[in-house]
Structure 1
Amino acid sequence: MPKIAYNEKGFKQDSLDLIDEINEIVDDFTNQGYTLTLRQVYYQLVSRDFIRNNEKSYNRIKYLVNDGRLAGLIDWEAIVDRTRTLRKFPSWDTPEDLLRAAANQYKVDMWENQPAHVEVWVEKDALIDIVANACEVYDVPHFSCRGYTSQSEMWQAAQRFRSAEEQGRGIVVIHLGDHDPSGIDMSRDIEDRLNMFGADVVFKRIALNWDQILEYTPPPNPTKLTDSRSSDYVRKFGHECWELDALSPNVIAGLITDEIEEYIDWPQWKDQKAREDYEKKALSQIVYEYSIKSTGGGERRTCRCYQCEREFQYTDSDILFFEKYELNCLVCPECKELTEVIDADVARKELENEYGVDF
C-alpha cells in the first residue's frame, strides 16, 4: 500500500514512536481484513496505554496521522473515512466482462426458506464496513442508523417486516450501539417505533452491553451531562460511558456472527447453497459459450486421435457440448471414434515415453 510523501515534516522522537505504533496497529488489522477509521486507531492506542483517553489526545492523533501521511510515513489507504465516499456508476469494457461479472456476483436469497428474517442495525456509519464483513458471510441485510433512525426509514422497515411476517417468518433485529445515555435509548426507540408501526419484532441488542464492558474493559469517556437522558444513565451506570468503536473489530464481528448463527436452519441453508452453486455454474457456462462465439470459435489447436493416431484440428467451440457433460473428448473426423483431446506435442511425448521411440 502507498506511503507517498508530499511535504517534509519534522517530528520529535515521541511522535515518531507513536507513528510506528499506529503503523503496527494498522498492519495488524489489515492482515485480518479490516480497514480502521481514525477513531478506531485512536481507541486501539488508548487500550494499549500509549495515550490517554481525552479530547486532547484524540486531536493529537488526528493531526499526527495527517502529518504522517503527508510526510510519507503512514499509508494513505490504511485509514478510511467511511462518511465521505465517491459514488460511481459501474461500467464494463466488453459485453463479456458484464456477463462474467454477473456470473461471479450471482447469489440466491439464502434466507428465502429460513424460519426467520434477520437484519443487523448499527448506530454508527463509521462501523458499517465491519458489520458488512460479518453480514456478508451469511447474506444478512444490514443498516446504519446514523444515530436515531429517521421516521421514514423506520416505517419502511416495519412494512418490510410485516411482509416477511405474512410469509410466516419471524423477524429479528440485531442492534449494536454505544453504551451511553443516547446509545442505550436508541435501542428502546427502535423497538417502540417498530411496534407502533405494527411489526412484531424480536429485538436483540448485542453490543455494547455492561457485561462486555466488564469483559473487554474498553476505555471510558465522561458521560455528557448535557444529554437529557443522562440522569437515568448516571444512576444506573455512573459517570462513565463507552463507545462501540472501542471494541476490537474482531470482537464486533464475532458477536454478530454468533447471533446470526442462532437463527439459521442449517439443512435448509445447505440446500439453498447447493442451488446457488449449480445455477452459478450454469451462468459461467453461458459466459464461456458467449466468449467462444464472440471470438469466432477460439484458438485452433491440433490433437491426436488415440484410436487411429491421426492428427486433426479443433477449436474451443468444438468441445462445448462435451464440456457440459464434463467430458474431455471429441469425435475424430477420420475414424469417427471418441478420442481424448490432447495437444499433439503432448501426445507425441507420451508415446515416446511409452514406446521409447520418436514419433
Structure 2
Amino acid sequence: MSKITASRKKRNRGYIEGYKPNAKTRQLLEQAQVVLQEYRKYWPLTCRQIFYRMVGAHGYDKTEAAYGRLCHHLANARRGKLIPFEAIRDDGVTTYSLGHFDDRDAFLRHVRQLGEGYTRNRLAAQHVHMEVWCEAAGMLPQLHRVAEWYSVPVYSSGGFDSLTAKKRLADRICAMEKEAVILHLGDYDPSGVSIFDSVAADVTAFVEADRPHGLVSVEFERVALTSEQVHDNDLPTAPAKATDSRSKTWTGGTCQLEALPPNVIADILEEAIKRRINWMQFVEDLDAEEQDRVMIGGLLPAPESMGAV
C-alpha cells in the first residue's frame, strides 16, 4: 500500500509575522491599496475586480498568470496585515446558520433587536416582484447593499442552469401571483449569454404551466454585461474560447462583468430597480413601517425584564 504524504512545499499558515515584501511586490500592493481605497464604500471587492481596476489604471498585465500572481500577493498582504481581511472577498462558502440561543434572556434580547430594527417588505405591495441574480458570488455583498433598500433579494447564479434552481425560481414566482422580473448580471461571453437565454426560456415555460392565473408572468432582463456597456466603458476584451462550440456564432470579443468598476455596476443595478418601482406605494410603505415599528416597540419585552445585557 502506498503511503500518502503531505506536500513538502512550504505554504503560509495563519498570519505572516513581520511581512516584508520586496520592492516590486510593494509597488504592486501599493497600487492595489489605491484601488481598494478608491472603492472603499463597495467593500468587499473580489480579486478579479481589483485586477481589472489595476489593468485599467496602472497598466497591469491582462493575463491569467498576472491575475494569479496578484491573488497570491493579495493573500499574503492580508496575512501580513497590510490589507484588511474584510476588504476582499474570495470565498465560496455556503453556511447553514442555527437559530439557537444561549438562554431565554438571549432570545428576548434577540426579539427586541428584531423589533427595533423592523423593516417592512417594500416589495410586497408593489405590482411586480423582483430578484437579482449574479454569476459572481463574490459580488453579492455589493449588490445586496444596492438592492436591500428596495427589499429586492439577491442570489448567486453559479447554479443558474440547475434544474432544481430553475424550478424553485418558477415556484416562487407562481406563489407571488403577480408579474416578476429577474435582473441578471453576468459575463459577456457565448456561454453566459447562452445560459441566460436558456434559463429564461425554461423558467418561463414552468411559470406558464403552473401559474394560478394569467396575471402571473416573468421577464428576464440582462442588466449587465452587454455589448453596449463593453463599448461605452472601453472595457478590455478577449477572444471567445475556441473550445466553446457556441463561439462559432459569436461576433467580437468577450468581457467579464468584474471589468466594470463597482460604482458603475451599482448605478446600473439601482437604475434597473428604480424603473420598476411604484413610488407612491413605496412612500406609503415607509410611513407604515414607522408606525409598525412604534406599535411593535410597545409589545416588546422591556429591557429590564431581560436580565443583564
Q: Tell me the TM-score normalized by structure 2.
A: 0.84
How far apart are the structure 2 equivalents of 1:82 and 1:107?
29
State whether structure 2 residue 46 is matched by structure 1 residue 29. Answer: no
Q: Is the 8 A contact 1:223 1:241 kept in 2?
A: yes
Cross-structure match for 2:242 = 225
Q: Is the 8 A contact 1:173 1:202 kept in 2?
A: yes
- Residue correspondences, number: 283
Query: Please, which of 227, 235, 253 is the counterpart of residue 210 of structure 1?
Result: 227
How far apart are the structure 2 equivalents of 1:278 and 1:270?
13
Q: Is the 8 A contact 2:134 2:140 kept in 1?
A: yes
Quote how far apart the aligned CAs of 1:85 are.
5.8
Cross-structure match for 2:138 = 126
Cross-structure match for 1:65 = 74
Quote how far apart the aligned CAs of 1:293 are.
4.6
The secondary structure found in structure 2 opposite 1:6 is coil
Note the residue ranges of structure 2 that are not aligned, 5 or more in a row.
Answer: 1-13, 209-216
Cross-structure match for 2:115 = 103
The secondary structure found in structure 1 opposite 2:133 is strand
Aligned residue runs from structure 1 range 24-173, under 5 A: 24-30=34-40, 32-84=41-93, 87-89=96-98, 91=101, 94-146=106-158, 148-165=160-177, 169-173=178-182
Q: Is the 8 A contact 2:43 2:86 kept in 1?
A: no
How far apart are the structure 1 equivalents of 2:123 and 2:80?
49
Quote how far apart the aligned CAs of 1:142 are.
2.0
Distance 1:183 1:278, change over 3 A: same
- Give the CA RMSD over aligned residues: 2.2
Q: Is the 8 A contact 1:178 1:243 kept in 2?
A: yes
Distance 1:158 1:294, change over 3 A: closer
How far apart are the structure 2 equivalents of 1:164 and 1:294?
38
How far apart are the structure 2 equivalents of 1:181 and 1:8?
46
Distance 1:33 1:179, change over 3 A: closer
How far apart are the structure 1 equivalents of 2:121 and 2:146?
17
By relative contact order (CA 8 Å, sep 6+), the higher-ranking structure is 2
Q: Report the identity percentage.
A: 26
Whichever residue aligns with residue 125 of structure 1, its letter is A
How far apart are the structure 1 equivalents of 2:95 and 2:125?
36
Quote how far apart the aligned CAs of 1:108 are.
2.2
Whichever residue aligns with residue 137 of structure 1, its letter is W
Whichever residue aligns with residue 196 of structure 1, its letter is A
The secondary structure found in structure 2 opposite 1:206 is strand
The secondary structure found in structure 1 opposite 2:182 is strand
Distance 1:130 1:8, change over 3 A: same
Cross-structure match for 1:290 = 302
Specify the structure having the higher radius of gyration (Cα).
1
Quote how far apart the aligned CAs of 1:294 are.
5.2
Residues 24-77 of structure 1 deviation map (CA, whole Å, 9 limit, x = unaligned)? 2112222x2421111111111112133111012111101211232333332233
Distance 1:213 1:294, change over 3 A: closer
Quote how far apart the aligned CAs of 1:17 are.
1.1
